[in-house]
Amino acid sequence: MSLLKVEGLGKSFGGVKAVDGISFTLAKGELLALIGPNGAGKSTTFNMVNGQLKADRGSIQLEGHELIGRKPRDIWRLGVGRTFQIAETFESLTVVENVQMALLSNDHRLYNLWRRAAAHRRDEAIALLGQVGMAEQADRPCSELAYGDVKRVELAIAMANNPRLLLMDEPTAGMAPNERNALMALTKKLVTERGMAVLFTEHSMDVVFAYADRMIVLARGRLIAEGKPLEIRDHPKVQEVYFGTGKTFEKHGGQPAAAAPTEAAHG
C-alpha cells in the first residue's frame, strides 16, 4: 500500500488553475522528485499536502487518513514533516539548541519553557546532528555556519519529528553543485536508514537523475509525465516543456530556443 495517495487534486487562484487535477502515489522508502517549470504548481501541491493551503478538490490520503481539511499541525502530527528555513530569531541559538527546540516542540512543550529546560534532550539532539554530520559543530551559533551546513541543520530539525513523509521544496536552492549533491546524498541516506518517504523539488536535473527513485513532472498545473529518471529524460512531453533550456531544465521562459531538445538530458 502507498504511504501517500493523491487523487484528482486541484486548486485555483482566481482564474488560474495552479494545480489541475493531479494524481500520484508515494511509497515508503521512496525519493520522489516533483519537477516542472516555474509556476507549474509544485509549491501549491506541497502546501496542500502539508495543510498550509486547502485544496478545492480531490483527495490526499496518508495511510488511509484524509489530509484535506486538517490543520497543518494535525498533518505534522500524523508524520508529515517539512524542512523550514532556520528563522532569523533562532540564528542566535547554537546548532544543538535549534535541534533541541525542535525536539521540545515535538513534546508539545511551550517555547518559554525552553530556557529552563536548557539541558533537555541534548543527547538526542546531538544524535540527530550526528546523522547529518553536524555533531562537531553543535555548539556553534547557527549564524556562523556555512550555507550548506545550515541546510544540514534544517534537515536534522525536520527529523526531530521522526516524519514518515518529508516534504522538501527546493531544498538545494542557492547551493553550489557540490553542496547540492552532498545534501541529496544525505537525504537519500536518511530515506534508506529510516524507511522515510521524501517528496522534493529540484532545479538541477543532474541532482534529480542522480538521487530520485521516481519523478513526476508538472506543467501549468497538470501532471504531464511520471516515471523513473531515465524514462522521464526521453519523454516527448517533458522534452517539449523544457525545450532548449540546457542542462538544468530551469526557468523555461516560454520562448523555445533553437537548441537541440536532447541537450537537457545530458549531464
Interacting residues toward ligand ADP by CB under 6 A: 13, 16, 18, 36, 38-44
Task: Please report how close the Cβ of residue 42 comes to Mg ion at its closest, in angstroms.
Answer: 5
Task: Please report how close the Cβ of residue 41 comes to ligand ADP at its closest, in angstroms.
Answer: 4
Interface with Mg ion, residue 43, by CB under 5 A: yes
101-160: which residues touch Mg ion (CB under 5 A)? none
Task: Please report how close the Cβ of residue 216 comes to ligand ADP at its closest, in angstroms.
Answer: 12
Task: Please report how close the Cβ of residue 14 comes to ligand ADP at its closest, in angstroms.
Answer: 7
Nearer to Mg ion, 45 or 161 (CB): 45
Task: Please report how close the Cβ of residue 40 comes to ligand ADP at its closest, in angstroms.
Answer: 4
Interface with Mg ion, residue 245, by CB under 5 A: no
Nearer to ligand ADP, 90 or 200 (CB): 200
Nearer to ligand ADP, 10 or 36 (CB): 36
Residue 163 binds what, of ligand ADP, Mg ion, none (CB under 5 to 8 Å, by partner type)? none
Choose the stretch contacting Mg ion; rule: CB under 5 A; options: 5-13, 40-48, 111-119, 209-217.
40-48
Q: What's the grid cell of residue 139?
A: 555548539
Residue 36 binds what, of ligand ADP, Mg ion, none (CB under 5 to 8 Å, by partner type)? ligand ADP
